[in-house]
Amino acid sequence: MKKYLFRGGALLGISAILSKLVSFFRDRLLLDIFPTEKVDIVFAAFRIPDFFYYLFVGATISVIFLPRVIDLKEKEKLEYFSSFLWGVLFFFGGLSLLGIFSVEFLVQLFAKGFDKHLQGEIATLSQLLFGSVFLLSLSGVFAAFLQAKQKFISIALAPLFYMSGICIGLFLFRDSFGLLIIGYSAIFGGFLHLFANMLYFFLNKGKIGFFWKKPISAWKNFQADFWRRVLNNSAFQLNQSADILIASFLITGSITAFSIGTNLGHFLLSIVGFSVANSAFPKLTKHKFNWSKQKIILHNALKWILLFCIPATIFALFFLREILELGFGLSDTPLEMTHTVFFWTVLSLPAACMIPVLSRVFLANDDTSTPLWINFCSLLGATGLAAYLSLIVFPPEKAILGLALGNFTANFLTLGLFWFFFQRKIKMTSVDSI
């Protein structure tokens, strides 16, 4: 298991570090190039297509693809992969087109606090970003197949290509296209992401056939399973979208402060949390319903997470202001707001990084109901707390604290509930074996 974690998790972790650094550079470019009001627009525009991408594809593909493909014969794997790819192409392609044509309505749901002129700019940029997430959705299918084969090279490189594509576009063509360069650059980055995974797929002798819902055994109860997993992801995505919606009613710069503060505060979530979770998930799936084996895998994974997260959290808490000043050039009110979000987010970082691993323990055992209710109860409760504190309790200049406290509550409450139900599963299994 340790060798497996090092081989997959370390490679994905290194990639995530580089990708995260590039994403920070992207945010710095945005702050240097555009006024705060325009940067608010950028983060709000990303949230609309990202909601649908992470709901239906980004956080769903691997956890629904891997358990079904792992025990298939080689010919059946080809059939299942091909069927899955065509399904994503038509389903998410259609959804992206629907999003492009109904974007003005979506802006009302996601960013109603902006005035009409700014809502129009958000809508135009979001239309372009729907194109980028469509490319990412296709790339995700190739990545899931490669993950099942324990081939991690392109999975590690693709996110770095995506972020680099956006940065290159911003740096070279910002004067030519203005705010729209972000959308064009995201499409270019999405193409690079897809190309990397497709190329590595074919280099590993992968094939695509014209199959639909084959083999039958792998597609049994697929629809019900898919929608359960979508519902499981929906609580987190609704929470993220609700936070942006709440921030759109606050003072200018609130969305930027919240986005940068949470991204920076969760800097190890993709580097450690998701990397360890993604590398451990195939192993957990192989030991389906074997809770004693899975307990060992889980404990090893959590040890690695805490080994990195605790020192990083302590370091970040001591140098919060310096990181924001030097890394992002923030000062005055934007600095104070981002500092508030960063502080409470990084304080809950260890909890946030452990949640993906605990969630995958249940998903590996075909239990989608428990994560669903845990996420809904904790995240919706935390969102309600954030809305109450931000819009009612705190004054406008301090309202960002409500969003920060909401995220802090969500992370620890979710972790606590996952751990409680995992221990309950262990005890129930022990009783049944007596």
Indicate if 160 and 55 belong to the same structural domain.
Answer: yes
Q: What angle do CA 186, 189, 195 make, to 5 degrees?
A: 140
Place of tokens 């192989």: 286
- In whole angstroms, give the CA distance from residue 411 to residue 345: 9
Indicate if 127 and 244 belong to the same structural domain.
Answer: no
Indicate if 47 and 190 belong to the same structural domain.
Answer: yes
Indicate if 251 and 326 belong to the same structural domain.
Answer: yes
Indicate if 279 and 212 belong to the same structural domain.
Answer: no
| Residue 412 structure tokens | 């620890």
Indicate if 81 and 215 belong to the same structural domain.
Answer: yes
Give me the DSSP letters along 236-296.
Answer: HHHHHHHHHHHHHTSSTTHHHHHHHHHHHHTHHIIIIIIHHHHHHHHHHHHTTT-HHHHHH
Domain assignment present for residue 271? The answer is yes
Could you list the beta-strand ranges (E) of 184-249. none
Domain assignment present for residue 433? The answer is no
Indicate if 216 and 227 belong to the same structural domain.
Answer: no
Count the domains in the chain. Answer: 2
Could you list the beta-strand ranges (E) of 122-216. none
Domain assignment present for residue 18? The answer is no
Domain end, chosen from 220, 241, 260, is at: 220
The residue range of the domain holding 201 is 34-220
pLDDT by residue, tens only, the chain of 434 residues: 444 444 556 677 677 788 888 988 999 999 999 998 999 999 999 999 999 998 888 767 777 887 788 778 888 888 999 999 999 999 999 999 999 999 999 999 999 999 999 999 999 999 999 999 999 999 999 998 888 887 888 888 999 999 999 999 998 998 888 899 999 999 999 999 999 999 999 998 888 988 888 888 888 888 887 887 787 778 778 888 999 999 999 999 999 999 999 988 888 887 788 878 877 887 888 888 877 888 888 888 899 899 989 999 999 988 888 989 888 888 889 999 999 999 999 999 999 999 989 988 888 887 878 888 888 888 888 889 999 999 999 998 899 999 999 999 999 999 999 999 888 877 776 555 54
Indicate if 196 and 244 belong to the same structural domain.
Answer: no
- In whole angstroms, give the CA distance from residue 411 to residue 348: 6
Domain assignment present for residue 144? The answer is yes
Give the global pTM: 0.84
Report in angstroms the alpha-carbon separations of 393 from 5, 251, 318, 389, 390: 45, 15, 29, 5, 6
Contact 170, 185 (CB under 8 A): yes
Domain assignment present for residue 23? The answer is no
